[in-house]
Amino acid sequence: MRFLRPSCLIPVLLLTACGYPQNDPYPAGERGTNTLYSAFTERPKHLDPARSYSEDESVFTAQIYEAPLQYHYLKRPYALIPAAAEAVPHPYYLDAAGERLPDSAPAETIAHSVYEVRIRPGIRYQPHPAFALDAAGQPVYQALDKKALAGIDTLAGFEHTGTRELVADDYIYQIKRLAHPRLHSPIFGMMSERIVGLKRLGEALQQAAKGGPDAVWLDLDRFPVEGVTRVDRYTYRVTLNGKYPQFLYWLAMPFFAPVPREVDRFYSQPGMAEKNLTLDWYPVGTGPYRLTENNPNRRMVLERNPNFHGETYPCEGEAADEAAGLLEDCGQPIPRIDRVVFTRETESIPYWNKFLQGYYDASGIASDSFDQAVSFGAGGAVQLTEDMQTRGIRLLTSVRPSLFYMGFNMLDATIGEPNGERARKLRQALSIAVDQEEFISIFMNGRGIAAMNPVPPGIFGHGEGADGINPVVYDREGDAANGQPRRKPIAVAKQLLADAGWPNGRDAKTNEPLVLNLDTPSGMGDKATMDWLTRQFAKIDIQLVVRQTDGNRFQEKLRKGAVQIFFFGWNADYPDPENFFFLLSGSEGKVATGGENAANYQNPEFDRLFAQMKNMESDGPNGARRAEIIARMNRILQHDAPWIFGFHPKSYTLAHAWLQSRKPMGVGNNALKYQRIDVALRERQRAAWNAPVLWPLALIALLIAALVVPAVAAYRRRERGVARDRHQGS
């Protein structure tokens, strides 16, 4: 028996700890590659562009599909620019007789708006089996059945792939898919009222679908739609009822991205759906990336589309973009990143730790990690902690195109329109008393800004500087032109309440206390939030009763107008003020029409201005006039106070130093193609932050030596003694 010398154990142990960090969660073959690493928490449900509508899904769909239009990466307010289209289309207008009208024609004279979209020639789809052709030019995979699919479980199982040019027919086919009865597109109801003939197409497809089982393919080329027609190989025309300028924003969404007929046919073959071989699982597009791995419970991978037609990085943006280094890549070809790996993380702590180790390139900030990442300096300015700054981490902030508000039911006898001027002063008093800045500080770690009107920053009509301040709730602090908003003293709210007939929170005639009810779904707002809100009302001597119920019952009460006060929020479908102001349009009254105006607010002058504003463009000669109308609408809403204008949430994102050219986008979400990775810097930082700690191993080695050396010495003495005895005996 031969013993290893104890002194040899130390280098052996130390060598096992050397080399690349042992905690690296990624395969060794990925080291040093131009790959961005990110995480997702909710598995995407739909990747089919006719069905996908959630923000979690757009992280993938916006990189794969190319709608005709997109948003400029750097400009704010958000500006539409071409994507697959050659230019942003300008509509022309027709009257009821089909005669062309001037652009300045009043909206009420316009029977139809016509948009002609011309697609850039030469754009090609990602490689896909649906495009594979045999020697005779016929699809290789056109007559598959379950037997032929045996052994094929992923898209990679198909041996042959192909591609072809993007044409106008592909966009027409997708618009028809919005009416497909088996897809249940979330925008079909709304678009069927806008696009001429789309509702009739839906009815025709509904009838056709009854003729066979769900597995039977509906060839949509056999079903014409009056308002969507082909002009030539690269141009199609969409005709809308009336005037609807916001249609351009829809042309930037995946709903209006192309889906080729042969892809729809390929995925409709028997046995495909059972293996998740569907457009919902494997999308097909012309965008900068394609989905090559889809395991939504663990990992999803986007890789550069080898057929992408290419773009260049923008050369202009906001005033601060140059100082932030966001113009350094001006004119460079995009995408800059070859591959994006998304790993599913269901717990915030492991996600955060991997970010700190450099294994995620960017991260949001969970509540339990907020103090570790961010601190507040003088005047409440947000800043990174010293540890984050030492690591070279950057804080990226943006205000989301969203609004959370507290609504008043204007049909209510106490707080609504039936109580006239008295109720208006009560609503104004509450708008002052409920301190949004305090709520944002306590419950949101400062991640939000108090709203002055319905329109979030970054969207035309928000109102900047002193002109954007709500004069009912705030005073201007300092210079009148550039002063910052300061919430009015609580004494002003109490005076308004007294003027309304409730001095000290009691009816001046009956001395009865004023009690108001807040209706909210169960689970919306924890006890701490509700207790805080109760204290806000108590500041002006009003008693608040919180009535929680289940979600369905809450919605029913809203539909019937059986509420006084409620919480709601809205996230922009598109960055236009119309998408927020319509929430207070009289034609959208929840009780009267089942619309989205849950406050049931109605003001004839506001509605008149809204009708003008919604049909105007934000740029060109109409821009200044539209801004003026919006300012008047905001003053009406601030005076009437149908809402407490709550807050616009802020998103905080942390990015490592090696992640460059990253700017938050509240809409569009196709930002991956603009970003860049300094791979060498990332490798160095990961190695430094995850260097093995060797002293415990050295200590263990010394302990082993301390135990083994005496044992070996004793063993050798015993062996020598035995050998000596044998020698003497012989």
Return the ∠ at Cα 25 (arms to 24 and 28), rounded to 5°: 65
Report the share of the chain in percent with pLDDT over 70: 92
Return the C-alpha torsion angle 141, 144, 148, 151, nearest 10. 70
The two tokens of residue 173 are 């086919």
Q: Is 50 exceeded by the pLDDT of residue 4?
A: no
655: Cβ–Cβ under 8 A, 6 or more apart, which residues? Answer: 361, 362, 393, 394, 396, 662
**Residue 521, pLDDT score:** 86
**472-519 pLDDT per residue, tens:** 999 987 655 556 899 999 999 999 999 999 999 999 999 999 999 999
Phi, psi of 262 (to 5 degrees): -70, -25
Where are the alpha helices (H) located in 1-47, listed in sequence order? Answer: 6-17
**Residue 15, pLDDT score:** 44
Phi, psi of 727 (to 5 degrees): -65, -40
**Residue 55, pLDDT score:** 86
The two tokens of residue 708 are 């083994």
Do the strands 35-40 and 394-399 form a parallel or antiparallel pair, or are they unpaired?
unpaired
Contact at 8 Å (CB) between 564 and 415? yes
**Residue 10, pLDDT score:** 47
Burial class (CB in 10 A: 0-12, 13-18, 19+), 635: middle
Q: Is 60 exceeded by the pLDDT of residue 163?
A: yes
Contact at 8 Å (CB) between 679 and 34? yes
Closest alpha carbon to 585 in 611, 618, 612, 557 = 611
State the Rg of the chain over Cα: 32
- Beta carbons within 10 angstroms of residue 109's beta carbon: 13
Q: Is 50 exceeded by the pLDDT of residue 3?
A: no
5: Cβ–Cβ under 8 A, 6 or more apart, which residues? Answer: none
What DSSP string runs through 512-581?
PBPEEEEEEETTSS-HHHHHHHHHHHHTTT-EEEEEEE-HHHHHHHHHHT--SEEEEEEE-SSSSTHHHH
The two tokens of residue 177 are 């898919």
Closest alpha carbon to 458 in 682, 667, 253, 278 = 667
Q: Is 69 helix (H, G, I), strand (E, B) or coil?
A: strand
Return the ∠ at Cα 58 (arms to 53 and 60), rounded to 5°: 135
**389-414 pLDDT per residue, tens:** 999 999 999 999 999 999 999 999 99
Q: How far apart are CA 341 and CA 26, in angstroms?
A: 10
- Total count of residues recorded for the chain: 730
The two tokens of residue 33 are 């590659």
**Residue 13, pLDDT score:** 44
Q: For residue 730, what are the CA distances in angstroms to 704, 717, 719, 725?
A: 39, 20, 17, 9
155: Cβ–Cβ under 8 A, 6 or more apart, which residues? Answer: 128, 129, 277, 282
Do the strands 80-82 and 311-312 form a parallel or antiparallel pair, or are they unpaired?
unpaired
Q: How far apart are CA 405 and CA 273, in angstroms?
A: 42
Contact at 8 Å (CB) between 121 and 165? yes
Q: Is 90 exceeded by the pLDDT of residue 199?
A: yes
**Residue 478, pLDDT score:** 64
Contact at 8 Å (CB) between 415 and 422? no
Q: How many CA atoms lie within 13 A of 292 on its CB side?
A: 14
**Residue 463, pLDDT score:** 87
Closest alpha carbon to 613 in 599, 597, 624, 603 = 624
The two tokens of residue 197 are 């003939």
Q: Is 50 helix (H, G, I), strand (E, B) or coil?
A: coil
231: Cβ–Cβ under 8 A, 6 or more apart, which residues? Answer: 116, 168, 237
**Residue 700, pLDDT score:** 80
**334-380 pLDDT per residue, tens:** 999 999 999 999 998 999 999 999 999 999 998 888 989 998 876 66
- The pLDDT-based confidence of 551 (bands split at 50, 70, 90) is confident
Contact at 8 Å (CB) between 76 and 207? no
**6-15 pLDDT per residue, tens:** 444 444 444 4
Contact at 8 Å (CB) between 291 and 283? yes
What average pLDDT does range 259-274 have in this prediction? 94
**Residue 14, pLDDT score:** 46
- The pLDDT-based confidence of 1 (bands split at 50, 70, 90) is very low
**Residue 709, pLDDT score:** 74
The more confidently predicted of residues 550 and 178 is 178
Residues β-bridged to residue 398: 651
Q: Is 80 exceeded by the pLDDT of residue 729?
A: no
Residues β-bridged to residue 195: 240
**Residue 217, pLDDT score:** 87
Q: How far apart are CA 723 and CA 25, in angstroms?
A: 55
Question: What's at 506, amino acid-wise?
Answer: R
Question: What's at 454, amino acid-wise?
Answer: P
Contact at 8 Å (CB) between 368 and 348? yes
What average pLDDT does range 164-183 have in this prediction? 97
Q: Is 70 exceeded by the pLDDT of residue 45?
A: yes
Report the share of the chain in percent with pLDDT over 90: 77
- The pLDDT-based confidence of 17 (bands split at 50, 70, 90) is very low
Q: How far apart are CA 136 and CA 134, in angstroms?
A: 5
The more confidently predicted of residues 528 and 428 is 428
Burial class (CB in 10 A: 0-12, 13-18, 19+), 249: buried
Mean pLDDT value across the chain: 91
The more confidently predicted of residues 444 and 113 is 113
Do the strands 402-408 and 394-399 form a parallel or antiparallel pair, or are they unpaired?
unpaired
What average pLDDT does range 18-45 have in this prediction? 86
The two tokens of residue 603 are 């003001």
**561-585 pLDDT per residue, tens:** 999 999 999 999 899 999 999 999 9
Segment among 38-42, 97-101, 184-188, 714-718 with least mean pLDDT:
714-718
**248-264 pLDDT per residue, tens:** 999 999 999 999 999 99
Q: Is 70 exceeded by the pLDDT of residue 20?
A: no
Whole-structure pTM value: 0.87
Contact at 8 Å (CB) between 435 and 493? no
**Residue 214, pLDDT score:** 54
